Chains A and B, each alone.
Chain A
Amino acid sequence: MSATILRVCQALLLLASFALWQVLTASGVLPPFFFGEPLKVLEKIWQWFASGEIFPHLGITLLETLLAFLFGTALGLGVGLWLGLNRLAATLADPYIKAMNAMPRVILAPIFAVWFGLGVWSKVALGVTLVFFMVFFNVFQGVREVSPVVLANARMLGAGRRHLLRHIYLPSAMSWVFSSLHTSVGMAFVGAVVGEYLGSAKGVGYLILQAEGSFDINTVFAGILVLTAFALALDALVSLAEQRLMVWQPRHEA
Chain B
Amino acid sequence: MTSMMSSLKSAAAAINLSKITCTFASLAKPVARPGDRPGVGAGDYTAVCEASLTVARGEFVSVVGPTGCGKSTLLNIAAGLIAPTAGEVTVFGTPLKGINRHAGYLFQSDALLPWMSAVDNVIVGLIFRGIRRADALERGHQWLARVGLSGHGHKYPHQLSGGMKKRLSPAQVLINDPDILLMDEPFSALDIQTRQLMENELLDLWSADRKSVLFITHDLEEAISLSDRVVVLSAGPETRPIGEFAITLPRPRDVAEVRMTPGFLELHKQIWDILKAEVQKGYRQGLAA
- Residues of A with Cβ closer than 8 Å to B? 147, 149-150, 152-160, 163, 167-168, 171-172, 174-175, 247-250
Contacts and interface: CB of A to CB of B under 8 A. Distances in A.
B105 A158 contact: no
Given A152-B81, A248-B116, A250-B158, A158 B111 contact: no
Contacts of A168: 113
A152 B111 contact: yes
B172 A157 contact: yes
- Chain A contact surface mostly: helix
Interface in B204-249: none
Q: Which 4 A-B pairs give the minimum distances between C-beta atoms?
A: A153-B111, A157-B125, A171-B115, A250-B158
B113 A156 contact: no
A97 to B, nearest CB: 25
Interface of B: 76, 79, 81, 99-101, 103-105, 107, 109-117, 124-125, 127-129, 156-158, 172-173, 176
A149 B124 contact: no
Nearest to B124: A157
Contacts, number: 72
B128 A157 contact: yes
A158 B156 contact: no
B129 A158 contact: yes
A175 B115 CA distance: 9
Contact of A158 (B101, B109, B116): B101
Contacts of B109: 149
Contact of A156 (B81, B110, B116, B127): B81
Nearest to A158: B128
B114 A249 contact: yes
A165 to B, nearest CB: 12
A152 B100 CA distance: 12
A155 B99 contact: yes
Contacts of B111: 147, 149-150, 152-153
21 contacts: A149-B111, A150-B111, A150-B112, A152-B105, A153-B107, A155-B99, A156-B81, A156-B100, A156-B103, A156-B104, A157-B176, A158-B101, A158-B128, A159-B128, A160-B128, A167-B116, A167-B128, A171-B115, A172-B115, A248-B117, A250-B158
A129 B105 CA distance: 44
Nearest to A171: B115
A155 B104 CA distance: 10
B115 A248 contact: yes
Contact of B105 (A147, A153, A160, A175): A153
A171 B101 CA distance: 25
B34 to A, nearest CB: 32
A105 to B, nearest CB: 32
Given A152-B81, A153-B107, A250-B158, A158 B176 contact: yes
A152 B104 CA distance: 11
A160 B124 CA distance: 12
A156 B128 CA distance: 11
